[in-house]
Chains A and B, each alone.
Chain A
């Protein structure tokens, strides 16, 4: 038995609306992530994928349900988790190196040690020599790498990723996906990866979870991905197993996407 790292149980999230009406983004959602497991959440736009991720991060307290991290109930920020945001979250007034250092500084690590770790991580994400540049001097892909280093330098047990590569161009994107898999394979953190791109989900994950259309979104299907590792994300997409998995999961996802469209048309 592998250990359960993250457990979401019967989570509901309701946001007060402008008038009397309240919007329930997520309802009765449960999810279990094992140690070293790479799980992707896919679902139609606006289905509360990010909401669920924020609950797991402790950034958002659920209206109902419980969150357990290594069996302990979560109150406040999830200290075991690192979070890679969809949009830019680097501090624009800090250089790349200083951005990677910031978490260690907050934790009270001495400056020169933090600097060493930061430089080591910048090298691991192929940004050695770019440490003194400010975020606006880096390309989108490079900024994502800095953000990845900023999160991983803290050595979190759980990595939460919210469509991290959606703003990148296609080539940079598959490059980053391969680099992510490479980094992940070195110490196998538990990963929860949110995306609306099914191909990305299948090529990266051990398991794909399909969420239903919002409101009151919840997981409606789970699909284990037994593709051999190590994988190359662009090559694995051409294998027959991949296409078969894609067809099966898409059957489930399509229903939800159509629901979302039907609602939008109303």
Chain B
């Protein structure tokens, strides 16, 4: 089982990195004040989960991520379809889309905080602005590149304009949405955490911000580790959903074990 062996080596590599980190900080080659101590970091994580303090923060961050992800994806899908199918709309909105996309959107976080307060919605909105463009562009290009023969065939089989949308454009756009979901879910997470980091009263980003304020580098690392594991889990969920829904795709069949 080569894949199982790879998994074993992946775990070993992780352990090795932690050992290296531990040795370097213990021998003070890297000052522990700036680089933390892995054992303390792990202990902090353990305290969070056993003491239960982390759950409300984690829940807030995940809710923000989920909302940003869902709203951004649906909006991206709808706008992507609309602009891909309407020449006038895409010609009209093209410069605005480009401008918004090239804008460094993290800068919007303080503005959202002013508009929507320090609660979850300022973070959700930041996440949405990040997720939207990823999904939008992949749907937009995907729909524009739908095989014209597929469209002609559906028309010959009697599809009306509305039916074309439902039977041809939407299913092929869905495939493109899925290809962008990995990036989208990551971006939703980034939006939530950055939003919290720039001003909040709850969430894992808030924990990191607090710890940084008192130079508690171990807690910062603990927060980063928890976030990383969460991001990996979210990505895993997307992969599973993708395998179920895109069974028709070449290469999706046979690697479901």
Chain A contact residues, CB within 8 Å of chain B:
57, 59, 77-79, 81-83, 85, 87-89, 91-95, 102-103, 105-107, 134-137, 150-151, 154
Q: With both chains docked as a complex, state the minimum distance between the C-beta of A153 and any C-beta of chain B, in angstroms.
A: 9
The answer on a CB contact under 8 Å between B250 and A89 is no
Query: Out of A89, A95, A103, A135, which one reaches B149, CB within 8 Å?
Result: A89
B115 within 8 A of A: no
Main secondary structure on chain B at its contact with chain A? helix
Q: With both chains docked as a complex, state the minimum distance between the C-beta of A238 and any C-beta of chain B, in angstroms.
A: 36
Smallest Cβ-Cβ distance to B155: which chain A residue? A77
Q: 3 tightest A-B contacts by CB?
A: A103-B157, A89-B153, A136-B250
B41 within 8 A of A: no
The answer on a CB contact under 8 Å between A92 and B248 is yes
Q: Which residues in B have their C-beta under 8 angstroms from that of A85? A: 149, 152-153
Bound-complex Cα distance A151 to B159 (A): 13
Smallest Cβ-Cβ distance to A77: which chain B residue? B155
Smallest Cβ-Cβ distance to B163: which chain A residue? A106
Q: Which residues in B have their C-beta under 8 angstroms from that of A103? A: 157-158
Query: Out of A57, A91, A95, A154, which one reaches B158, CB within 8 Å?
Result: A154
Known: A92-B248, A93-B175. A102 touches B167 (CB 8 A): yes
The answer on a CB contact under 8 Å between A94 and B163 is no
B241-257: CB near A (< 8 Å → 1, else 0) gives 00000011110010000
Known: A85-B152, A93-B175. A102 touches B249 (CB 8 A): no
B154 within 8 A of A: yes
Q: Which residues in A have their C-beta under 8 angstroms from that of B168? A: 91
B150 within 8 A of A: yes
Query: Out of A88, A106, A136, A137, which one reaches B159, CB within 8 Å?
Result: A106
Bound-complex Cα distance A51 to B158 (A): 20
B103 within 8 A of A: no
Bound-complex Cα distance A94 to B154 (A): 13
Query: With A78-B156, A83-B153, A135-B248 given, can you name 11 additional A-B contacts, CB distance below 8 Å?
Result: A77-B158, A89-B150, A89-B153, A102-B167, A103-B158, A106-B158, A106-B159, A136-B248, A137-B253, A151-B156, A151-B157
Known: A79-B158, A102-B157. A93 touches B150 (CB 8 A): no
Q: Which residues in A have their C-beta under 8 angstroms from that of B250? A: 136
B171 within 8 A of A: yes
The answer on a CB contact under 8 Å between B156 and A81 is yes
Known: A102-B167, A106-B163. A134 touches B248 (CB 8 A): yes
Q: With both chains docked as a complex, state the minimum distance between the C-beta of B84 and any C-beta of chain A, in angstroms.
A: 18
The answer on a CB contact under 8 Å between B149 and A94 is no
Query: Which among B147, B153, B159, B168 has the greatest number of chain A C-beta atoms within 10 A?
Result: B153
